Amino acid sequence: MARPMLLNAFEMNTVSQSSHGLWAHPRSRAADYNRLSYWTDLARLLERGLFDGLFLADVLGVYDVYGGSAEAALRSGAQIPINDPMLLVPAMAQVTQHLGFGITANVSYEAPFLLARRFSTLDHLTEGRVAWNVVTGFLDSAARAMGRPTQREHDTRYDMADDFLQVVYKLWEHSWADDAVLRDKGARVFSRPDRVREVAHDGPYFQMRGLHLSEPSPQRTPVLFQAGSSTRGLRFAGEHAECVFINGRSPAGAAEKVARLRAAARQAGRRDEDLRVFAGMSVIVGRSQAEAEDKLADYRSYIDPEGELAHFAASTGIDYARHGLDEPIGFVQNNANNSALESITTRSREGAWTKRDLIARMSVGGRGPLILGDPQQVADGLAQWMAEADIDGFNLTRLVAHESLEDFVTLVVPVLQERGLYKRGYGEGPLRRKLFGEARLPDRHPARRAG
């Protein structure tokens, strides 16, 4: 197989993650996001389709930029209510054997010592199937809820993330030696004190001294996911990330980002093959093209533009309620997600959008790419992205839960397999071994040098 396609389902512990409005579709199960069966059924479905991972996004605030209030977000359920992603994992791990779990946790608000133990616990319980999506946040509403007037400045958040990672790397990789745990009932010795040590960190943001509370888990450091696309974000991804998420509207645009990412990894002393890059993608498949088009028209009739605007306003830090329909959207430097704003303003290669453009393009799949058609057409589209964008796979967005993923597993996966583009069975061992061949990080990764 040339380059096997990797697949994650892109989900969130909330009623409406994106494509806002689709939760109200009569066949959608999204309103049951707070029931365990929603997640265990999803995990079983993904494992049936040999998905590599379930990626769980998360935000810690509410979308209150649009119109200066949370009204539109609350009415449309746009990522509110939102529950903790981590707590879903043990139940899903219990009903699967191989599926990986990418969990988002925000370094601006977590405590490194506690987060390190939570990930180690899950890495043990899942036998090495966890990944951490390292995010720094983009919402002032999250900062206020955590007792700060505003969030830290964009690049400072990445400096702080660097420092946070040094702490957790020390705990995961350098506190317990591989032979520290004896589990020797005869000798009545569980761990060898001489093989466990305190680590210490005296950084600009975090200071600590202590030994890791968990014994070494199968992967030690969870697989590291990241999605930075600003200049500072790319540098961070190049240094630390193993799996990177990108959003690109076209394969050519995505290819540029991928080239920059791989260059950033080389710059950091790592290799091109140390990164797996996933592009966000929405897929609607039918038994025929006409059936897929009918499905899109049906789904589209549920899209809620106010929810979309509330989400996008908070992501970009711009209140579109103040814009006239035909007013071009200018770039205003702010502390939210700069790359999302750049992609639609005067800094975009397509030129500035108006609010009318924005609403027109807010459809099924949000502003991201959509591949639609019969199973062969969908396979063609995915294969073209893989080849032209130099990516390793896709994050498939939630559309109508779980119908859209069920369609994908039933109709598209067999075609990808027939074409030799997709695996026919899982590899053995922990998630990192399935993705990279080794369960532990390579020596050239900064985690290994953090001690």
Ligand X SMILES: Cc1cc2nc3c(=O)[nH]c(=O)nc-3n(C[C@H](O)[C@H](O)[C@H](O)COP(=O)(O)O)c2cc1C
Provide the mask over 105-124, with x wherever binding to ligand X is found by CB under 6 A and - wherever it is not: --------------------
Task: Based on the shown chain and the rule CB under 6 A, indicate whether residue 137 belongs to the binding site for ligand X.
Answer: yes
**245 versus 353: smaller Cβ distance to ligand X:** 245
Among 224, 242, 226, 228, residue whose Cα is nearest residue 168: 224
Instruction: Supply the minimum distance, in Å, between the C-beta of residue 124 and ligand X.
Output: 24
- Cα–Cα distances in Å, from 203 out to 159, 160, 161, 167, 210? 11, 9, 11, 9, 15
Instruction: Supply the minimum distance, in Å, between the C-beta of residue 342 and ligand X.
Output: 8
Task: Based on the shown chain and the rule CB under 6 A, indicate whether residue 337 belongs to the binding site for ligand X.
Answer: yes
- DSSP codes joined into one string, 82-121: B--SGGGHHHHHHT-SS-EEEEEEETTTS-HHHHHHHHHH
Task: Based on the shown chain and the rule CB under 6 A, indicate whether residue 191 belongs to the binding site for ligand X.
Answer: no
**339 versus 404: smaller Cβ distance to ligand X:** 339
Pick the binder of ligand X from 8, 14, 79, 104 (CB under 6 A): 104
Of the listed pieces 122-130, 228-236, 402-410, 418-426, which binds ligand X according to CB under 6 A? 228-236
Determine the distance from the C-alpha atom of residue 63 to the mean position of all C-alpha atoms in its chain, rounded to a whole number: 19
**133 versus 345: smaller Cβ distance to ligand X:** 133
List binders of ligand X among 263-322 (CB under 6 A): 280
Task: Based on the shown chain and the rule CB under 6 A, indicate whether residue 138 belongs to the binding site for ligand X.
Answer: yes
The amino acid at 269: G
Among 294, 329, 128, residue whose Cα is nearest residue 216: 128
Determine the distance from the C-alpha atom of residue 425 to the mean position of all C-alpha atoms in its chain, rounded to a whole number: 24
- 77 φψ region: left (φ > 0), alpha (ψ -120 to 50), beta (else): left
Task: Based on the shown chain and the rule CB under 6 A, indicate whether residue 245 belongs to the binding site for ligand X.
Answer: yes
**58 versus 308: smaller Cβ distance to ligand X:** 58
Instruction: Supply the minimum distance, in Å, between the C-beta of residue 369 and ligand X.
Output: 12
Strand partners, 12: 57
Other CB atoms within 10 Å distance of the CB of residue 28? 22
Pick the binder of ligand X from 233, 317, 365, 369 (CB under 6 A): 233
Of the listed pieces 61-69, 256-264, 334-342, 383-391, which binds ligand X according to CB under 6 A? 334-342
Pick the binder of ligand X from 50, 227, 435, 450 (CB under 6 A): 227
Give CA–CA dist 83/104, Å, rounded: 12
- Residue pair 137/81 in contact (Cβ under 8 Å)? The answer is no
Task: Based on the shown chain and the rule CB under 6 A, indicate whether residue 13 belongs to the binding site for ligand X.
Answer: no
List binders of ligand X among 53-72 (CB under 6 A): 57-59
Q: If DSSP codes are grouped into helix, strand and coil, which group holds residue 405?
A: helix
The end-to-end CA distance of the chain, in Å, is 38
CA atoms within 13 A on the CB side of 100: 33
Q: How many residues bind ligand X (CB under 6 A)?
A: 20
Instruction: Supply the minimum distance, in Å, between the C-beta of residue 59 and ligand X.
Output: 5
- Cα–Cα distances in Å, from 242 out to 274, 298, 299, 370? 6, 38, 34, 25
Provide the mask over 381-420, with x wherever binding to ligand X is found by CB under 6 A and - wherever it is not: --------------x-------------------------
Q: Which two tokens stand for residue 14?
A: 């909330």
How many distinct helices (H) and strands (E) make up the chain? 17, 13
* Nearest residue to the partner ligand X, using Cβ: 233
Instruction: Supply the minimum distance, in Å, between the C-beta of residue 145 and ligand X.
Output: 14
**227 versus 254: smaller Cβ distance to ligand X:** 227
Instruction: Supply the minimum distance, in Å, between the C-beta of residue 390 and ligand X.
Output: 17
Give CA–CA dist 397/399, Å, rounded: 6
Task: Based on the shown chain and the rule CB under 6 A, indicate whether residue 230 belongs to the binding site for ligand X.
Answer: yes
**77 versus 233: smaller Cβ distance to ligand X:** 233
- Cα–Cα distances in Å, from 204 out to 51, 235, 450? 40, 19, 15
Pick the binder of ligand X from 166, 214, 221, 247 (CB under 6 A): 247
Instruction: Supply the minimum distance, in Å, between the C-beta of residue 102 and ligand X.
Output: 9
Pick the binder of ligand X from 166, 338, 343, 377 (CB under 6 A): 338
Contacts of 215 (CB under 8 A, 6+ apart): 124, 176, 180, 181, 191
What is the contact surface with ligand X in residues (CB under 6 A)? 57-59, 104, 133, 135, 137-138, 227-230, 233, 245, 247, 280, 337-339, 395
